[in-house]
Amino acid sequence: MRVIAGELGGRRLKAPRGSQTRPTSDRVREALFAMLGELDGERVLDLFAGTGALGIEAISRGAGHAVFVERDAGTAKILQANLTSLGIDRQAGEVRRTDALAALRSARAAEETYDLLFIDPPYSRAHDLGPELAAILPPVLGPAARVVVESDRRAPLELPLEVERQRRYGDTVITIHRHI
């Protein structure tokens, strides 16, 4: 797996062994970022970050800061190693080792807002997370924020936000929501 484009384009990312983490394929990331366009200075929240591929790609393409949320200790360690090996310092990228819902509650309490959110939960949990995320997300969304959801087409994660675009790649569905 590698960073597709931008300042860090072509650089390799480490991934944990096994099937517990399901990194977004290069092909899907390339298509997603083509849809997103310019990311100049955007504040990014990468929930269920895994290797950090989505947030790292955003930084490579000009995002100002990314917060990576990963619950698993081993995966968070690999994510931090990816940031370090790419020269992404704490001012540009920060790893928070916690549950995604707890991270959102903390962000809300700290009055943090984001311009771009990536939500790529384990496919088995995606459908059930929708109502909880819908209740917690609005306070952390900046004006005109976009929320990118990756889920299985058979059990999609649905949010009560305007759908800007939706694309299917095999069994994976990418939905870009816009917060108004």
Q: Tokens in use for 174?
A: 């990418």
- Full DSSP string of 162-175: EEEEEEEETTEEEE
Name every residue whose Cβ is closer than 8 Å to that of residue 174 and which is 6 or more positions away in sequence: 28, 31, 32, 35, 148, 149, 150, 166, 167, 168
- Kindly report the CATH class assigned to 26-178: alpha beta
138, 114 Cβ separation under 8 angstroms: no
Q: Tokens in use for 177?
A: 């929501």
Name every residue whose Cβ is closer than 8 Å to that of residue 58 and which is 6 or more positions away in sequence: 33, 39, 42, 44, 46, 66, 116, 118
What backbone torsions phi and psi does residue 103 show, to the nearest 5 degrees?
Answer: -65, -40
More confident residue, 180 or 54: 54
If DSSP codes are grouped into helix, strand and coil, which group holds residue 79?
Answer: helix
More confident residue, 10 or 24: 10
If DSSP codes are grouped into helix, strand and coil, which group holds residue 45?
Answer: strand
Give the pLDDT confidence of 46-77 residue by residue, as tens digits. Answer: 999 999 999 999 999 999 999 999 999 999 99
